[in-house]
Structure 1
């Protein structure tokens, strides 16, 4: 008999534990903000709210957008599915405190995401410890940044959120560019839309997110020359770059990948290239020692079109561009119309 009672008690405890796990849980994210994590989207979670330790002897009323939801310093509210709320407590004198209750969905949906790209993109134009991370809102789901934490080895990294709410700028003061990174940076982003909160995480080394700035090209005689970006880390012998050069037919642009528009496409460590007539010169750079991002394309044309003006008569000119027409002259013809 005792064994049967013990088995029944054990079964009851296991069932209660299972129900609690099925219902979900909640945690304090920051002051006045609770996050509920239901096990399934349709579950209901009981969440306790407290107005404040010092308000225990007052007559307190709790309100939400739906009206009065309870009385007393401590109450429980039921959070169902994805419906959170902003609950405020009041006494006879007015507002005292509030708690924002958010619900974490089973699948993130606020930021734009795809199978080929991470929702958070991080880049650094050198190895000084500065880096930027950005994201985009999903179509029709503009949200707000609730909390961003960036750490390495449990040490917090200072970051500033852009006013747009779609990027941060950070600097890891402990980063040494001449020493191999041992631990990755951890970025945790909490974004909310209504009473829904999504949590995104990203882990990376600064060496993995390097992207040089664009290349500055100069044309000296019949040769293109270029240097490392001014923002790139020095010495260049320790932080070498490799360059990709493409010669593109002038009617196309540097993004063209077809064999029809590309005359030559090679990678080189040289910093000069011969000019070719009727071809667009395109160049970009990448860290030679890391498989990180290429810089954006920079380009140069073999020659620049020059405007010219041929005197036709005493008070008019033949022009091939509007810029060469004298101010106040009513008669200004294009070279094509004049020759015709």
Structure 2
């Protein structure tokens, strides 16, 4: 499933966040912001990104720091100290100021209530995300993995029932930070709309006289029982002249081929919901299925 979401986000400088901070505040551009130090100490000193005297306009009143005219140079990690002892930190960012588009793709392997979402951004950022379950409860914030601008997170909805009709969509909430900006948005979807099975497994080919007998098993990750969670299988075989032929099988895990084939592979889908086909299995060489002939001396 692909979701297009309208966002506004400033581009981040080179030194970007690598993890979502535990504490942050979002302010308006050119507005004032109050940052508080969570401590019983009455007198503290403040640093911004490790600098004791940054070139920004602030008012320091003990445990409280007021930032005047918040702008991009004033964003970052504010830390309060008692001497050399770190007391508290707050990451300060501004509201987004430029519209962006973000693509979020979610996929489930079965109807077990687990799925994975991924997205990409062209700038350094840190994200966190959580799920609103089908019973309305909020899930815990889920860590987000990142690699070269691609982000992903895995979820499990313990309240999801694979045998019940989905009456309400799931809601995924996502928060993101760059060094200067903040975004917050949600997407809604039904699990039935994002299901894409894994490839079928254990494909075997046996030659029986002039016919080829093919057998396979459902994906190991697919929901059970098979009588309830049926699959439609798509066999593709390549003839000796290179022509590829498709054959569809439903309600069975074996079939016969009358034609001579060079190789075969298989895919599957849920025939009653989203029409997404699984990836193909690896090609199975039919020559390997031919029985060995004993050499007589």
Give me the TM-score of the superposition, normalised by structure 2. 0.71
Equivalent residue runs for 1:175-214 within 5 Å: 175-214=160-199
Where structure 2 has 5 or more consecutive residues not aligned to the other structure, the ranges are: 1-19, 291-297
Which of 277, 280, 301 lines up with 2:263 in the alignment? Answer: 280
Displacement, 1:197? 3.0
Displacement, 1:107? 4.9
Look up the match of 2:200.
Answer: 215
Larger Rg: 1
Displacement, 1:268? 3.4
Q: 1:181 to 1:244 in 2, by over 3 A?
A: same
The CA distance in 1 between the partners of 2:262 and 2:157, in whole Å, is 43
C-alpha root-mean-square deviation of aligned residues, in Å? 3.2
Look up the match of 1:44.
Answer: 30
Displacement, 1:211? 1.6
Which of 125, 148, 160 lines up with 2:129 in the alignment? Answer: 148
Contact 1:89 1:98 in 2 (8 A): yes
Is 1:265 the counterpart of 2:246? The answer is yes
Look up the match of 2:12.
Answer: none
Displacement, 1:213? 1.5
Look up the match of 2:6.
Answer: none
Contact 2:130 2:142 in 1 (8 A): no
What whole-Å deviation, never above 9, does each CA across 1:296-322 have from its counterpart, x for those lacking one? 10132221499xxxxxxxxxxxxxxxx
Give the 3-state SS of the residue equivalent to 2:90 in structure 1: strand
Contact 2:194 2:274 in 1 (8 A): no
The CA distance in 2 between the partners of 1:71 and 1:162, in whole Å, is 35
Contact 2:234 2:268 in 1 (8 A): yes
Which of 263, 267, 277 lines up with 1:294 in the alignment? Answer: 277
Q: 1:250 to 1:54 in 2, by over 3 A?
A: farther
Equivalent residue runs for 1:49-68 within 5 Å: 49-52=35-38, 54-55=40-41, 58-65=42-49, 67-68=52-53
Contact 1:82 1:103 in 2 (8 A): no
Contact 1:159 1:168 in 2 (8 A): no
Look up the match of 1:323.
Answer: none
The CA distance in 1 between the partners of 2:275 and 2:260, in whole Å, is 33
Contact 1:242 1:285 in 2 (8 A): yes
The CA distance in 1 between the partners of 2:259 and 2:74, in whole Å, is 64
Q: Which has the higher contact order (CA 8 A, sep 6+)?
A: 2
The CA distance in 2 between the partners of 1:265 and 1:275, in whole Å, is 13
Contact 1:62 1:70 in 2 (8 A): no
Give the 3-state SS of the residue equivalent to 1:155 in structure 2: coil
Where structure 1 has 5 or more consecutive residues not aligned to the other structure, the ranges are: 1-28, 114-118, 252-260, 307-340
Equivalent residue runs for 1:3-14 within 5 Å: none
Is 1:97 the counterpart of 2:76? The answer is no
The CA distance in 2 between the partners of 1:282 and 1:143, in whole Å, is 41
Contact 1:135 1:167 in 2 (8 A): yes
Displacement, 1:287? 0.6
What whole-Å deviation, never above 9, does each CA across 1:262-315 have from its counterpart, x for those lacking one? 532354315324174454323211111102521110132221499xxxxxxxxx
Contact 1:211 1:286 in 2 (8 A): yes
